[in-house]
Structure 1
């Protein structure tokens, strides 16, 4: 297909004049998305795109999903906002569903407005419960843009300050294909990472509060260690009484296909003490949260509320979206259509691709450098496909379509992506 010019220079100039210079946008000529349906979106110029990024994995099921838009409209007609100072049937019902799905025994749920805030709350709980500001995180990690979550982000491209209220100790394990352990077998890799963790704990000054880890690193380029790595870590953590926080902001709700939560690929030692979620749960509405064991969740000794967390309208969206996801087995669909995508990409002759990784509808494609990834992003848009970008050096493509993706759309998107990558390598 042929894509016409992006929206007017006037809007771009107004954006640059009034918004921060560090607020990144995609493409040489940024586009404005005005509406969507299913797995497609349209820009202000009327160009139609197959969406393989879902607003950073946030449009989890589909654009304009009727069940969700109906629930939002009906709730908006009743009341938009109350705050946590008042009881809310929708908030309690959604918390009950999420607690039951979490796998964490005796779980309680606290709702936030974003993944950043969810991780922020998890850090508050962990450091209060353990009476320590020392936190373990994986290298190449990303956990948010607040002051505390930047302090546990191991990807320097997304960490604008070295100042932090936390003392962070970074351990190996987030990246399988590079670094000192890349040549090892999976079992040797896990053993080496556990040894690194033990050594790091030997350098800690007293109590360590928690390890926070993404089962698949999102901004890091969809990298991950072998299955079982975090379970091996948990064995060490349990011995020291250290909490395990699983950052499920991008891996949750069945996106990986094989599991409902990313931590379940590492469940030999049981569930985490806490998990955080956000992005897709409300299919585009601003919602995140923390699930934790009751004794951890209830450890705060001061009053706290949330003005916007768990609002009636976001909980209505979350309930409708979660019900649709479960009723239509979107986890299974992610597994099936993800396999179609992956097999088609693997069969293509693409010398520019260094590595294809990830699982389900969460695939990463590593290219030689950031320039190649940027060019692929541009070529894909020109062909009518929206994708994402990440990686430590900005050299990885992030492929994460809505979970209702059809097999025909998976084949179509794969073919467009293959053509974009061939243009990069030409």
Structure 2
């Protein structure tokens, strides 16, 4: 059955639509932190459909909200008043920390970032964008044009002029050997130098933790220091919270808050986890930025009633059960366990992250050279042991990504760590 489906997949879908594993999985159902494939195999899910099943598979509160809303009306577009959309927008505006915030809903993180770029360039009357090296912001024409990870940017053509800034990867690049304070100072000096050689950019877009890039991050405070430089010149700061939002990092509800010394970003994008699998993305911005467009616009599917009902139920569950606190506690235990294992495996260059957003970088032992073949072998071994994880990285996809649902308990964290330990030791 699975082999037949794979053949049909390859016959009608693009060659560039990536599949994990030598024998790709068909996942048929899930519950809690577990999923099952078409052959009946059960897996502990440490990737959540790319950080999207944020709370749990088949969460009863979300399932009930979707079912009840489907029985009333599924969709009407933004041309009509929509109570669930207004209610979720009110909650997100308040949680964002952005003053006088307005919220626009989309169907994905790609579309959210595309909208943020539209707003920033229109507001600033500039098509120059600052982006981070090793970054990823989606698959649309504008988003791949600002993506600093060449493995995910299939064309150099772009409607935007993109300039790339140092700082998103703490342990690589020309400033890696510096202390945190010196690192930030060097990156700020580089930014100032770059701005001295270009017309005024519209915005800097940055992921507080780079997702596809392998869960890399700068020292806390880097983007606050950048913001001082940007603010002096009127340049906007866009925080891409598609993977870092909703408490996943444990220490903060939003990733930007680790850099919040100078206040919130001007624009923030979100997606993935808020819908717990339903297609929700969005943009939050100060009203004068959100309202700067001087032509009409709508969204056919952004903010549709059924996805908004799911988002409201999911957000309520997240807050009522303090899943941010759980990510901090259980994630802290998990990362320390994985660091202890990594210290004994020569191919593990670094175990990094915070909360339930953990990266394991794989290199050829004793070097900084990426080893995507070995990373893929660990991915396969973990699957054979009953664990699903992801991969990424800016150096030929040599990092493993660990991002379970935020309701992960200690026993499941220990189980997953044991499987990962076996998988990592199997490559020696």
| Distance (Å, rounded) in 2 between the aligned partners of 1:8 and 1:288 | 31
* SS across alignment from 1:424: coil
Cα distance in 2 for residues equivalent to 1:289 and 1:204: 30
Question: What is the CA–CA distance in structure 1 between the aligned matches of 2:340 and 2:248, rounded to whole Å?
Answer: 23
Whether 1:116 and 2:110 are equivalent positions in the alignment is: yes
Pairing 1:68–2:62 present: yes
For residues 165 and 98 of structure 1, the distance between their equivalents in structure 2, rounded to whole angstroms, comes to 30
Conserved 8 A contact 2:32-2:58: yes
Q: Does 1:213 align with 2:216?
A: no
**Mapping for residues 239-254 of structure 1, pairs under 5 Å:** 239-254=232-247
Q: Secondary structure at the match of 1:417?
A: helix
For 2:392, the equivalent position in structure 1 comes to 390
Q: 2:85 aligned with 1:85, yes or no?
A: no
CA deviations over 1:250-280 (Å, ceiling 9, x no partner)? 0000000000000000011110001000000
SS at structure 1 position matched to 2:29: strand
Q: Hey, which bits of structure 1, 4+ residues long, moved more than 6 A?
A: none
User: What are the equivalent positions in structure 2 for 1:177-192 lying under 5 Å apart?
Assistant: 177-192=171-186
Q: Indicate the larger mover: 339-348 or 351-360.
A: 339-348
- Aligned counterpart for 1:374 among listed residues 370, 373, 376: 376
Of 120, 123, 136, 2:130 maps to 136
Aligned equivalents of 2:357 and 2:338: distance in 1? 14
Q: Does 1:415 align with 2:418?
A: yes
Q: Corresponding residue for 2:409? A: 406
Partner of residue 274, structure 1:
267
Superposition pairs for residues 7-86 of structure 1, below 5 Å? 8-86=2-80
* TM superposition shift of 1:8: 2.7
Gaps of 5+ in 1: 1-6
Q: Which segments of 5 or more consecutive residues in structure 2 lack a partner in the other structure?
A: 364-370
Residue 3 of structure 1 is matched in structure 2 by: none
Per-residue CA deviation, residues 165-194 of structure 1 (Å, 9 max, x unaligned), is: 000000001101011000000001000100
Residue of structure 2 in register with 1:4 after alignment: none
- Does residue 300 of structure 2 align to residue 307 of structure 1? yes
- Displacement of 1:223 after TM fit? 0.3
SS at match of 1:136: strand
CA shift, 1:336, in A, is 0.6
State which of 347, 358, 366 in structure 1 corresponds to 2:353. Answer: 358
8 Å CA contact 2:2, 2:38 repeated in 1: no
Structure 1: how far apart are the matches of 2:413 and 2:283? Answer: 32
**For residues 352 and 115 of structure 2, what CA distance do their matches in structure 1 show?**
30
Aligned equivalents of 1:219 and 1:422: distance in 2?
25
Is the CA contact (8 Å cut-off) linking 2:249 and 2:324 kept in structure 1? yes
Which residue is 1:424 aligned to? Answer: 427
- Root-mean-square deviation (CA, aligned residues, Å) is 0.6
2: CA distance, partners of 1:264 / 1:361: 17
Q: Please give the per-residue CA displacement for 1:332-384, whole angstroms capped at 9, x wherever unaligned.
A: 00001101111211222222210011100000000011011100100000000
Aligned length: 418
Q: TM-score, normalised by structure 1?
A: 0.98
